[in-house]
Amino acid sequence: MDFQVVVLAGGASKELSPLVSKEVPKALLPVANRPVLSYVLDLLESSNLKDLIIVVEGNDAALRVGGWISSAYHDRLRVQVAQVPEDVGTAGALRLVANRLTASDILVVSGDLISDVPPGAVAAIHRRHDAVVTSLLCTAPISGPSETGSSGGKDKTKKQGRYNIIGLDPTRQFLLLAAAGTDVEKDIRVQKSILRAVGQMEIRADLMDAHLYAFKRNVLQEVLDKKDTFQSIRQDVLPYLVKSQLRSEISANGAPLSKDGLNENMASQNSQAWLSQQRIGAPSCFHEAYASVPNGSTAEPGRIHKCCAYIASKDKYCARLNSIQAYCDINRDVIGEASHLSGYSFSAQNNIILPSAQLGSKTTVGPQCMLDEGSHLGDKCSVKRSVIGRHCRIGSNVKIVNSIVMNHVTIEDGCLVQGSIICSNVYLQERVVLKDCQVGAGFVVTSGSEYKAESLSKKEKSPSH
């Protein structure tokens, strides 16, 4: 398909502290006991997209992610791992690897996407309409705690800034408005030229930008070059391309830009007359104007560019691991309603207990649970709607509900863990009670302690000078 793929895998995401660390960068954070990045890589592989540039923030994270890929995807994918500084933003990361981009079209995908929407479908729409950008939009997930126990703890990331206001043409193929993040809190302005051209616009607030985009490479590189302050694809690059669709700020034919960003030979024309030509009896100038042009090429090069949307059907799963609450929700879904994404076969009891795991007398593991290899549970334990990693040692009379327990965790007798995330190598001594907590790697919780909605982690040692 001649698409080059860039996977933006992040680094040590602050939003996911204390789950991520130098030892476990975001890309390797386990979802149903598999690194989150594996879900994107498997999805790309299934669409025969195997030439990848994986961009990782920070040298340590890049080394760890590269080592894991070499082991897990040997002979399956052709991967370049590119290390960029931390906190450069998604657009900044693309800018730093722009010299590696050679294909005519680029597929950019976030490494924290968990989805079964085929990227090839987005790529096909992009090519069909000769778009400068095509964005995957999915029904926004309803996140939050389940009735029997939450999994958020002190996750302060409310829904503010997580949703988008999207404007679509009547055919729902073309993206006419994209407002994200803080813009949603302000008055949203719509270009008059776009409204004139399409006649009407459908405004949607129930769609999530999945952070999977197809770009025309030359346009993407031009924007990144000229707009060197742009840091975010979703908040800077995409809105800019959408707003400039009928203003021709992108000089696709190489003509110079005027000071106000318009192509000079167009700026001198009567733009109202030009727009009326483009309408061709709206409702959708984009759809009608290009339907009559061979091969989807523009009748007047450099005068207009198109931004498209691919809206996934509601039966498709699509979520991004961009908060602690999302991490809990996605783990719950992948061993629940979206179990086809897990890569495992579930038992008749609708759970996964690997053969090397051992259960004590009168211990029950309910539906929508996963118990990985080498883990031992003592007598009279109860596990409900939870994921337990590899080689955990769990004592007797332990209750684990709506929780995620990573690898090599020790939980002594009489503990209650509810709505919590327990990172690798944690030690819970006897009779600990944790509700809606996150416990960072290697932390020790002393006997009889009770915590609710707390984030517990080792203090980072300051580097010595």
Strands 105-110 and 207-216: antiparallel
What are the Cα distances from residue 381, in Å, to 255, 305, 360?
Answer: 71, 61, 8
Which residue has tokens 């879904």?
333
The Cα 281–Cα 262 span in angstroms is: 25
Report the run of H or E that residue 90 belongs to, with start and end: helix 89-96
Dihedral pair phi/psi, residue 154, rounded to 5°? -90, 40
The Cα 112–Cα 210 span in angstroms is: 10
Which residue has tokens 């270009």?
191
pLDDT tens for the chain, residues 1 to 465: 579 999 999 888 788 999 998 889 999 999 999 999 999 999 999 999 989 999 999 999 999 999 999 999 988 999 999 999 998 999 999 999 999 999 999 999 999 999 999 999 999 999 999 999 999 999 887 654 443 344 444 443 334 445 678 889 888 999 988 887 555 556 666 666 666 667 778 888 889 899 999 999 999 999 999 999 999 999 999 999 998 886 655 544 444 333 333 333 333 333 333 333 333 333 444 554 444 334 444 334 444 689 999 999 999 999 999 999 999 999 999 999 999 999 888 999 999 999 999 999 999 999 999 999 999 999 999 999 999 999 999 999 999 999 999 999 999 999 999 999 999 999 999 999 999 999 999 999 999 999 999 999 987 655 554
The Cα 174–Cα 83 span in angstroms is: 34
What are the Cα distances from residue 427, in Å, to 63, 412, 422, 430, 442?
Answer: 28, 8, 9, 10, 7
Residue 316 has which token pair? 């498709």
The H-assigned helical ranges of 156-310 are: 192-198, 217-226, 238-243, 264-267, 271-279, 285-291
CA 342-348-350 angle, to 5 degrees, is 40
For the question of whether the overall pTM of this predicted structure is more than 0.85, the answer is no
DSSP 108-172: EEETTEEE-S-HHHHHHHHHHHT-SEEEEEEEPP--S-BTTB---TT----STTTSEEEEE-TTS
The Cα 37–Cα 20 span in angstroms is: 14
